[in-house]
Structure 1
Amino acid sequence: MAARARPRQLAFALPHTESLSRDDFLEGPSNAAALALIDGWPDWPNRIMLLTGPEGSGKSHLASIWAEVAGARSTTAHALTAAAVPGALATGALVVEDLNPSGFDERALFHLMNLAREDEAFVLLTARLPAASIEVELRDLRSRLRAVPAVTLQPPDDSMFRALIVKFCSDRQLSVDETVVSYLATRVERSFAAARRTVELLDAEALRLGRPVTRALAAELLRDA
């Protein structure tokens, strides 16, 4: 009689919380200038500032820290409309995240920048690309954006990258030892996004197999990736 195949265990995506508090922000050379900007508010060089950096580099975390201190409201560039601008600036401080090359209302952003200057409000913009790389049809907005002082978050160094792996595991309540961290740190692309994505996959695979997160499991995962 043929052996019956064992049923495959299903992995359920359980909610997890990523802390965005000041105490949980990982400090290092790659983000020192950006953190100094946030900690230096309200003594900014300009009332409108831009944070740029790759996916997962900490822009949203820094924006959240600043919003808490400054009493700022938050929105995304994609969601911003001209009609919503006055209300968005009601507290005198606003975070506008994810300023991408396309997909936002240029006139709404231009209106926001003008009103912020008139009302002496603070605005923190975040984007993955420098302002000069964001194609804008509205000429006046293009010049305004390129005049905004920018602070760039750099890719993580070795120490920061290892700390990120530990943090992402901690956010998911994964218990890992030094062998796992060292293995991942030397085999995963050194970027914030890659570290987060690898830990997410490792968590899902451990849950699916009903196994603890070990170096062996990490090796199997990366071998099959």
Structure 2
Amino acid sequence: MTGRVQPRQLAFALPHAESLSRDNFLEGPANAAALGLIDSWPDWPNRVMLLVGPEGSGKSHLAAIWAEEAGARSTGAHALTAASVPGALATGALVVEDLDVATLDERALFHLLNLAREDEAFVLITARVAPAALPIELRDLRSRLRAVPVINLMPPDDQLLRALIVKFCADRQLTVDETVVSYLASRIERSFAAARQAVELLDTEALRRGRPVTRALAAELLRDA
């Protein structure tokens, strides 16, 4: 008896929600200092703190954990305007995500930092690079940002990288065995973004081809990547 031929499936780019709860945060040496900062609130060394790390390193997850705990509002740095600052600080705690001078209103951020100091509000800023590396034109803002304590998130070690692969698979409801995880961890760049991209590629191609996620599929895809 011949088996039924399975039709090829179309792969749709559907969103995959990631849990941003404290229980779902993966801990490791790479993010220990940053997690320690979040857990130590409100006993921070400064009311304004800055989390710096590469894409996908957990900055937004940590910011979400803190926002829940502190009752903080959240805004993208690109969305800051002078008029929006008082409302943004209304709860006494604010997350400012993705500090990037290309889309930043420097005077609005300077106004925010001044008002936060006057109101004794807490501000958590996230960025991919430290302020010292940003070409900020406003001298007073440049000076103020460089005085903000920076907590760095480092590239994942092997244990955290493997845990990230498992988490990203779980977020996509993918069932994988240890051979797949081990193969990916030994072949991809040691970064959060690479782990997410590898799992996304596996998910998309497995669905498109109507195949299970196996080590053989992973080897085929990474060889062609």
TM-score relative to the length of structure 2 = 0.96
Tell me if structure 1 keeps the 8 A contact 2:53–2:152: yes
Report how far residue 102 of structure 1 moved: 1.8
Q: 1:132-162, CA deviations, whole angstroms, 9 ceiling, x for partnerless residues?
A: 0011000000000000001000000000100
RMSD: 1.2
Q: AA paired with 1:56?
A: G
Residue 9 of structure 1, CA deviation: 3.4
- Work out the CA distance in 1 between the residues paired with 2:200 and 2:101: 28
Distance (whole Å) between structure 1 residues aligned to residue 56 and residue 16 of structure 2: 17
Question: What does residue 167 of structure 1 align with?
Answer: 167
Give the equivalent residue in structure 2 for 1:54.
54
Partner of 2:104: 104
For residue 216 of structure 1, report the CA deviation from its aligned partner. 0.6
Query: Residues 7, 177 of structure 1: CA spacing in aligned structure 2 closer, same or farther, 3 A cutoff?
Result: closer
CA positional deviation for 1:10: 1.6
Distance in 2, Cα, partners of 1:133 & 1:212: 44
How far does the alpha carbon of each residue in 1:63-82 deviate from its partner, in whole angstroms, 9 at most, with x for none?
00000000000001001111
CA distance in 2, matches of 1:134, 1:101: 7
The normalised TM-score by structure 1 is 0.96
Identity, % of aligned positions: 81
Tell whether the 8 Å contact from 1:175 to 1:213 is kept in structure 2 after alignment.
yes
| Contact 1:93–1:121 (Cα < 8 Å) also in 2 | yes
Query: 2:82·2:108 contact (CA, 8 Å) conserved in 1?
Result: yes
Q: What count of residue pairs does the alignment treat as equivalent?
A: 220
CA shift at 1:7, angstroms?
Answer: 7.7
Q: Is the 8 A contact 2:47 2:121 kept in 1?
A: yes
Instruction: Read off the aligned partner of 1:34 and give its amino acid letter.
Output: A
Deviation digits for residues 109-129 of structure 1 (CA, Å, limit 9, x no counterpart): 000000000000000000000
Equivalences for residues 48-197 of structure 1 within 5 A? 48-197=48-197
Separation in 2 of the partners of 1:119 and 1:175?
Answer: 49
Could you tell me which runs of 5 or more consecutive residues in structure 2 were left unpaired when the two chains were aligned. 1-5
Q: Is the 8 A contact 1:96 1:123 kept in 2?
A: yes
Is residue 2:18 matched to residue 1:15? Answer: no
Question: Aligned letter for 2:165?
Answer: I
Contact 1:102/1:135, CA 8 A, preserved across alignment: no
What per-residue deviation string (whole Å, max 9, x for no partner) do you get for residues 177-217 of structure 1?
00000000000011000100110111000110111110011
What's the CA shift for 1:15? 3.1
Residue type of the alignment partner of 1:191: S
Report what 2:3 is aligned to.
none
* Contact residue 101 and residue 133 of structure 1 kept, 8 A: no
For residue 17 of structure 1, report the CA deviation from its aligned partner. 1.3
User: Matches of 1:9 and 1:32 in 2, distance apart?
Assistant: 42
Tell whether the 8 Å contact from 1:30 to 1:155 is kept in structure 2 after alignment. yes
Consecutive aligned runs of 4 or more in structure 1 exceeding 3 Å deviation: 6-9
Letter in 1 for 2:217: L
